[in-house]
Structure 1
Amino acid sequence: MNHKFRTGQNVRLLGGAPYRQAADGLYEVVRQLPYAEGDFQYRIKSGREQYERVVKESEIETVRG
Structure 2
Amino acid sequence: MERVLKHKFGVGDAVYFTASNVARPAASGAYEVIRQLPTEGDDCQYRIKSSTEAFERVAKESQLVGVA
Same fold (TM over 0.5): yes
Larger Rg: 2
Residue in 2 aligned with 1:24? Answer: 28
Deviating beyond 3 angstroms after TM superposition, the runs of 4 or more aligned structure 1 residues are none
Residue in 1 aligned with 2:17? Answer: 13
Count of equivalent residues: 63
**34-43 vs 23-32, which moves further:** 34-43
Quote the RMSD (CA, aligned, Å). Answer: 1.5
Segments of structure 2 that go 5 or more residues without pairing to the other structure are: none
Normalised TM-score (structure 2): 0.84
The offset of 1:21, in angstroms, is: 1.2
Mapped partners of 2:33, 2:53: distance in 1: 14
Normalised TM-score (structure 1): 0.87
Segments of structure 1 that go 5 or more residues without pairing to the other structure are: none
The offset of 1:38, in angstroms, is: 2.2
Give percent identity, aligned residues only. 49
More helix by share: 1
